[in-house]
Chains A and B, each alone.
Chain A
Amino acid sequence: MSEMNTPVAAKMPSTEEIALIKKFLSDTTLFLGPDPEIMQNHDLMPRTEDEERAVGKVSDAHIIAKIRDRIQSGCDEGYEMVEQMGAAPGAKWGDVITGVYSASGDLAIASAGGVLIFSALVHHPIKFIIKNWMNDPTVGVREGDGFIHNDSRYGNVHNTDQSMIVPIFHEGKLLCWVASTVHEGENGAIEPGGMPSMAESPSDEGLKMSPFKVVENYQIKRDILTFLQNSVREPKLQYEDMKVKLFACLRIKQRIEETLKTDGPEALVSTLRLTMENVRAEVKRRVSQWPDMTVRTYIIQDSTLRENCVVKINCKLTKTGDRLIFDFRGSSPEFTNRATNTIVAGLKGMLAQVFLCYVWPDLPRGQAAFAPIEVITDPHSIVNCSYDAPNSQSLMSIFTGFTAGQHAVAKFLYSCPEKYTKVHAPTFNMINTFIWGGVSQHGETLGNLCADLNGMGAGATVDRDGEHALAPIFATMADIGEQELNEEEVPFLQLVSKKMTRDAIAPGKYRGGQGYTMMVATKDSEQWGFMTTAQGAKIPPIQGLFGGYACGCYPLSKVKGVDVYDVLMNEPHKFKHSIEELMNERPFDGASYTTHHMGMGFEISKRGELFMISQGAGAGYGDLLERDPAGVIKDIEEGLISPGVAERLYKVKFDPATLSINHEATAAARDEERRARVARGVPFKDFVKTWNKPKPPAHLQYFGCWGDDVGTLYVGSPDITRDANVPKPNYMRHPKDVRIEELEARLAQLGALAEEKQ
């Protein structure tokens, strides 16, 4: 025994031995999983010798700009092709991106339209291909090849998105890559539509394509295609869109080749490299103009989509000189069996959108704009989840992470004289829409979603109201699509759509843009259902800015035991066009009326049953007592706010019949309210004495740090904590088990379980 414990002088291996050990390890690797070296790094790859040579030869700003514009229009052309020809609803509304990547895999130039977050993610699978397949004799990368990928753990938002990646060669040498990515929807997961909230492990999340070759000699390999089709609910879609993405890539390839003919390969390589390096340098310069400061904020997720609970996204943003550091430590630990986790690259991709869409929209779109910005997280965090955690509903965490970033950034921008956009309150961040699936009226199996998720209300800005149902935070140039066209394909109608939900407001000096009501009911199919995947039915998912309020909450309402199509045929006067009237007046005899949080697992619907939700409002900006009274009256006239609520909140006095404003009475009412605030407000130091508590409240299932102590994470209870740096499993119980236990306890109390054998 003693011999074993005797330390022996360690012998350092020689260089030769190290090389041998490395070769041994790489030859005997049993599984090439996601590579942390690739996945944790979002900065640009170092300049290669080829790039150095190219930049030395061609660096004239005019030539670079000309070639960049040509490549950019090539990307836009590819984007248009996918949007016009793609079969996925996502393609039709612009949930697409195309781009050109450097030989090392960095995204240099992306299409002007579409979902930019993909562009911050697809460089990961390309780098995986370069590292692992390029020199592997069983795979290789050759002219005419195409690679497919969807597994988020190798670099993606979630597994509904599929990429086609094509290497571009010139005279036998790899010059760059082109890729096209689409939110395809269906992917064979346990729920239709590709974003299962019921997933309790990655094995429930459907197709998990690590990057692999699916195209040779520019032809899709039929055997592999058939396997993929056989793995999803929409085989036609799988084939069609693989073809469309391939041809979009080939069109961009054609544009690159034209540039090569006129300007040569060095000019192209130099353009890609300098575009990235110049953007990166410009971002550092712009950051240096901000005040040196630390800004703190947090955004609360109020559910895992399975149950309501309190999940903190904690954000500390620090700017020092030309460094900008997002610190998300203290955010909730990852959930072992809930799907709302995200890989950290997804969070970074979404934070990149804060800058490229809302702060510096003038910068060329690509990977470089976020490259110099730093991100810190805890290990196994909800914003940096592990390989074993499900992440099909990562949108919940990347969107709340985005909002934390957007909220924090606004506080830096106000004082900065150099501005590229207006200071902006947070935009609504939840995908309040219906995901659907089943067998259509044409007998086809479908699984996808309504493009209405793109109708997020915009936040107010420094000098104007937010726009209604404007655009999703992940794609400022996306569209909502034509519902009537959609209804030709799917067996349900949106009986009410695009009607603003009254009183679902975000007040302020400038109010947030509002969201609209959606009511859907199935028709012409006995095998059709819906799901919803959003948070924010108990706690607003955003914060207001500079005294503005956030939005309120948005639940799901259901009316069952009725066929509204019969009602519309026989007693049309009974149908009402707002959730408020239908739910409060209950006009259908014998029907049931219920409300729920917005995490409805896939549910089969009967003909004529109503499922009703609302889009959300962006946040308000500034003190609501400073709102122009005319703006308040306009909101009443447009049905955004009811007269009583408007008068009570904004302290505007007006004639209820004519809506003419009494300016004097309004000014007096507002002065009185300011005095009332001073009277009811408690000095901060006294307030915190009674308000501050040392732990989260016992009545809430709370996840994340409490206060400033980011080293301690609460895990569902004020009495259960863990060290932020020491990951542990975090299992949630089945909500039905929890409910059964509650009901059994009540039965036991009543003595009704006494006879039951245990």
Chain B
Amino acid sequence: MKVLMTEYLRIDLDTEHWECRVCNHDIGPATHSYKEGTLVHNRDPREIHPPILDPEKYRFTFSPDPEWVRILEYYCPHCGTMVETEYAIPGHPPLYDMEPDLPALKAQWAAREEIKDPVVGPAVVADQGHKH
């Protein structure tokens, strides 16, 4: 059985591995951070959040300061999907952001049907009025 953990990642409960939901690539053991199986790019935040004010003229430009913060981009090494971003202080070790308890996860899903399409959740809809 496979559990859809994020938009791009799932855990195969039998192999206990993270997998890419886009290309089925085996990312690595789910006893470790999925990040260990990804490619990382240290992105200058000005490339994503472009300066709106002229950087030649102004101290603050609407761009993050690249000496204060970087964007770590984590890619699936096979298909290049960006599975996660992390706005990080330069040099700060990447976070072990999702550390599932695998035995508990297995026990929980033993009582559930496998879900192939993610559950989106209810939409906000206009009130249909009071009816009997």
On A, residues with C-beta under 8 Å from B are 291-298, 300, 302, 310, 312, 320, 411, 414-423, 462-463, 501-505, 507, 509, 537-540, 543-544, 546-557, 579-580, 583-584, 593-597, 614, 621-625, 645, 649, 673-678, 680-685, 687-688, 691-693, 695-697, 699-700, 702, 706-708
Q: Which of A292, A296, A702 contacts B89 (CB 8 A)?
A: A702
CB of A711, distance to nearest CB on chain B (Å)? 16
State whether B87 touches A550 (Cβ < 8 A). yes
CB closest residue in chain B, given A598:
B60
Provided the pairs A291-B3, A595-B61, A707-B92 are in contact, do residues A422 and B121 lie with their beta carbons within 8 angstroms? yes
Any chain A CB within 8 A of the CB of B131? no
Q: Which residues of A contact B61 (CB under 8 A)?
A: 553, 555, 595
Q: Is the CB of B5 within 8 A of A414?
A: yes
Q: B29 contacts which chain A residues (CB < 8 A)?
A: none
- Subset of 6 A-B contacts with CB under 8 Å: A419-B119, A420-B122, A540-B87, A579-B53, A678-B80, A693-B91
Complex contacts, B77 vs chain A, CB 8 Å: 678, 681, 683
Residues of A within 8 A of B98 (CB): 293-295, 411
Nearest chain A CB to B118 CB, angstrom units: 7
Which of B5, B69, B74, B95 interacts with A415 by CB under 8 Å?
A: B5
A687 to B75, CA, bound (A): 13
* Chain B positions within 8 Å of A680 at CB level: 41
Alpha-carbon gap, A756 to B86, bound state (A): 50
Q: Which residue of B lies closest to A672 (CB)?
A: B80
Separation of A546 and B84 alpha carbons in the complex (Å): 5
Q: Which size class do B's interface residues fall under?
A: 35 or more
Contact between chains at B119 and A417 (CB < 8 Å): yes
Selected from B41, B49, B104, the residue in CB contact (under 8 A) with A553 is B49
B80, A548: Cβ atoms under 8 Å?
no
A236 to B21, CA, bound (A): 62
B33-54 CB mask vs A (1 if < 8 Å, else 0) is 0011111111001001110111
The B interface, classified by DSSP as helix, strand, loop or mixed, is loop
Q: Are B52 and A296 in contact (CB under 8 A)?
A: no
Q: In the bound complex, what is the Cα–Cα distance between A296 and B49 (angstroms)?
A: 25
Determine whether the beta carbon of B65 is less than 8 Å from that of A539.
yes
Pick the residue among B50, B82, B91, B101 that contacts A623 (CB under 8 A). B82
Contact A681 B75 (CB under 8 A): yes
B84's closest neighbor in chain A, by CB? A547
Q: With A540-B64, A547-B83, A680-B41 as known contacts, state yes or no: A552 contacts B49, CB within 8 Å.
A: yes
Report whether B79 and A674 are in contact in the complex, using a CB–CB cutoff of 8 Å: yes
Min CB distance, A709 to chain B, in Å?
Answer: 10
Chain B residue at minimal CB-CB distance from A421: B121
Shortest Cβ distance from A185 into chain B, in angstroms? 28
Which A residue sits closest to B78, measured CB to CB? A678
How far is A692 from B60 in the complex, measured between Cα atoms in Å?
27
B77 vs chain A, min Cβ distance (A)? 6
B7 CB to nearest chain A CB (Å): 4
Distance between Cα atoms of A647 and B64 in the complex (Å): 21
Which residues of chain B from 83 to 106 have a CB within 8 Å of any chain A CB? 83-87, 89-101, 104-105
- Cβ-closest chain A residue relative to B71: A549
Of chain A, the residue at the smallest CB distance from B41 is A681
Report chain A residues within 8 Å CB of B68.
302, 310, 538-539, 700
Q: Pick from B60, B82, B115: contact of A537, CB below 8 A.
A: B60
Q: Which residue of B lies closest to A504 (CB)?
A: B62
> Cβ of A691 and Cβ of B89 under 8 Å apart?
no
The 3 tightest CB contacts between A and B, nearest first, are: A681-B39, A552-B49, A674-B80
Chain A residues, CB < 8 A from B108: 291-292
B53 to chain A: which residues have CB within 8 Å? 555, 557, 579-580, 583-584, 595
Across the interface, which residues of B come within 8 angstroms of A673, CB to CB? 80
Residues of chain B contacted by A597 (CB below 8 angstroms): 60
A552 x B60 contact (CB < 8 A): no
Cα(A621)–Cα(B91), bound, Å: 25
Closest to A709 in B: B93
Q: Name the distance in Å between A296's Cβ and chain B's nearest Cβ.
A: 5
* Chain B residues positioned under 8 Å from A684 (CB to CB): 35-40, 94
Instruction: Using CB atoms, name the residue of chain B closest to A671.
Output: B80
Known: A411-B97, A419-B120, A693-B92. 4 other contacts (CB 8 A): A302-B68, A419-B119, A507-B48, A544-B85
Q: Which of A411, A547, A557, A594 contacts B81 (CB 8 A)?
A: A547
Q: Which of A463, A539, A614 contacts B120 (CB 8 A)?
A: A463
Cβ-defined partner of A692 (8 Å) among B63, B93, B118: B93
CA distance A674 to B94 in the complex (A): 22
Distance between A572 CB and nearest chain B CB, rounded to angstroms: 23
Rounded to whole angstroms, the CA-CA distance of A194 and B4 in the bound complex is: 47
Query: Which of A298, A462, A544 is within 8 Å of B95, CB to CB?
Result: A298
A503 to B101 alpha-carbon distance, docked (Å) = 41
| Bound CA–CA A674/B58 (angstroms) | 34
Would A621 and B7 count as touching, CB distance under 8 A? yes
**B59 at interface, CB cutoff 8 A:** yes
A645 to B52, CA, bound (A): 11
B60's nearest neighbour on chain A, judged by CB, is: A555
Q: Which residues of B contact A553 (CB under 8 A)?
A: 49, 60-65
Q: Is B130 an interface residue (CB 8 A)?
A: no
CB distance from B114 to the nearest CB of A (A): 11
**Which chain A residues border B40 with CB–CB below 8 Å?**
681-684, 687, 691
Chain A residues within an 8 Å CB radius of B93: 688, 692, 707-708
Q: How far, in angstroms, from A422 to B119 measured CA to CA in the complex? A: 9
